[in-house]
Amino acid sequence: MTAENQRWLQDLKDGREEALKRLFSEFSAPLGRYLTGMVKHAAVAEDLVQEALLKFLSSLDTFRGEASVKSYLYRIATNLALNHLASAAHRRETFPEELPEGGTGGPSPQESAAREETTREIRSAVASLPPRQRAVVILRTWQELTFREIAQALEMAEGTAKATYFYALRNLRTSLGGIHES
Amino acid sequence: MNHEEVLAAALAGGPMPLTVKEHLDACADCRSELEALRSLEERLSGSAPEWTPPAGMERRFVETARTRRRRPPRVRWEAAAAAALVLAFCMALLALRHTPAPAPISPAGNHAAYETALLYDPWPETAGGLMESADEMATEIPEAPPTEVEDYLGYVDWGEWNG
């Protein structure tokens, strides 16, 4: 860990406003995207983002920097998401598919409509993966984490993360029926 | 290496091990599947949902974080409360153990009062009332045998028995 990062962590422990703002601006959006993909509900994701950041702050005394701050935050977020999914399943809740739309481009309306339809299908397929596979796929393709970071975040061996990713992609390919193999 | 291991290694990125390369060169099925999975990866990357923090979320986060930092951790309160309860319980026990028995107990032997005193002090050095009462009871027991028995024995003719 760099000296600059150590200073930042100390400032976070001291509750300095600038340090807290940096934590929020650096990690809230990536965590929000990840959690939206995991729990399929933007409002729930918002609550979980805040909870993840606060949990990170409360665990700073025990954080020894073995994993990066990013991996550690994703680990906290993953646990929150899995707990939420388990309790939602327990309550038999069903969430509406309300994933926010992706980036805006400049294609024609027809192309946009086709792309949106494809995107919707892919997200739906991702959402139907088992939670661990879903987490690995999202962390790899949407969040662009390395397999090492994914392994740290999900507390699994790096080889397991790679194998999980392969099986998740294979499942997605099956559920999408090969229509996206252009 | 089997097909799955080759594909997992090939998708992992980074320099491809020689064994993986050799397998892919020799296996058309794996090459075909790898190509399809890489295409899917690209499409997945472009399908990430947008998420930006709502207005005011940063302010709420900073305020909550600073409030929580100022507040003593809840676990310390719980530990302090538990310790206070244990201390209060111990003090109550000690007070109960060393409270003197109610006195005086009447010489007539108030047993109800004595039982109450025993609750406070099971070994009643101070329960003088009972001792006095027991002495009184002892003096009431006649020391000599009943005269009727002595009179009766006096009429026995021992000679008949020895006869």
Q: Where in chain A is the domain with CATH 1.10.1740.10?
A: 1-94
Residue B49: the pLDDT is 87
Residue A41: the pLDDT is 86
Q: Are B113 and B102 in contact (CB under 8 A)?
A: yes
- Residue given tokens 């929020």 in the structure block: A24
Query: B29 vs A100, which has greater pLDDT?
Result: B29
Q: Is B64 on the interface with A (CB under 8 A)?
A: yes
Task: Give the architecture-level CATH label for domain A115-177.
Answer: Orthogonal Bundle (1.10)
The residue in chain A having the minimum alpha-carbon distance to the alpha carbon of residue B65 is A54
> Does A33 sit within 8 Å of B50, measured CB to CB?
yes
Q: What is the mean pLDDT of chain A?
A: 86
Name the phi and psi angles at B16, rounded to 5: -85, 130
Distance CA B80, CA B73 (A): 11
Q: Where in chain A is the domain with CATH 1.10.10.10?
A: 115-177
Residue pLDDT, tens place only, B112-134: 655 655 566 555 554 444 444 44
Residue B131: the pLDDT is 46
Residue A146 banded pLDDT, cuts 50, 70, 90:
very high
Number of residues that this document lists for chain B: 163
Query: Residue B99: CB partners within 8 Å, gap ≥ 6?
Result: B120
Residue B56 banded pLDDT, cuts 50, 70, 90:
very high
> Does A53 sit within 8 Å of B47, measured CB to CB?
no
Amino acid letter for position A2: T
Residue pLDDT, tens place only, A114-140: 878 888 899 999 999 999 999 999 999
∠ CA B20-A159-B42, nearest 5°, is 70
**Cα of A100 to nearest chain B Cα, Å:** 5
Q: Are B58 and B35 in contact (CB under 8 A)?
A: no
CATH 1.10.1740.10 fits A1-94, yes or no: yes
Residue of A125, A133, A38 whose CA lies nearest to A76 = A38
Q: Mean pLDDT over residues A49-59, rounded?
A: 95
Distance CA B157, CA A169 (A): 122
Distance CA A9, CA A67 (A): 14
Three-state SS letters, chain A: CCHHHHHHHHHHHCCCHHHHHHHHHHHHHHHHHHHHHHHCCHHHHHHHHHHHHHHHHHCCCCCCCCCCHHHHHHHHHHHHHHHHHHHHHHCCCCCCCCCCCCCCCCCCHHHHHHHHHHHHHHHHHHHCCCHHHHHHHHHHHHCCCCHHHHHHHHCCCHHHHHHHHHHHHHHHHHHHCCCCCC
Q: ipTM higher than 0.85?
A: no
Q: Mean pLDDT over residues A81-110, rounded?
A: 66
Name the DSSP class of B146: P
Residue A62: the pLDDT is 84
Prediction pTM value: 0.66
Query: B133 vs B71, which has greater pLDDT?
Result: B71
Q: What percent of chain A has pLDDT over 90?
A: 64
Q: Are B57 and B51 in contact (CB under 8 A)?
A: no
Does residue B150 carry a pLDDT above 50? no
Residue B132: the pLDDT is 47
Residues of A in Cβ contact (< 8 Å) with B70: 15
For testing contact with chain B, the best of A14, A16, A20 (most B CBs within 10 A): A20
Which tokens belong to A67? 């994993």
Residue A2: the pLDDT is 81
Q: Mean pLDDT over residues B10-14, rounded?
A: 89
Residue pLDDT, tens place only, B16-47: 889 999 999 999 999 999 999 999 999 998 88
- Residue given tokens 């327990």 in the structure block: A90
> Does B62 sit within 8 Å of A20, measured CB to CB?
yes
Residue pLDDT, tens place only, B80-106: 788 888 888 888 888 887 776 655 555
Query: Residue B45: CB partners within 8 Å, gap ≥ 6?
Result: A141, A142, A144
CB contacts < 8 Å between A and B, how many? 128
Distance CA B24, CA B145 (A): 120
Residue of B89, B113, B112 whose CA lies nearest to B101 = B113
Distance CA A147, CA A141 (A): 11
Which tokens belong to A146? 């390395």
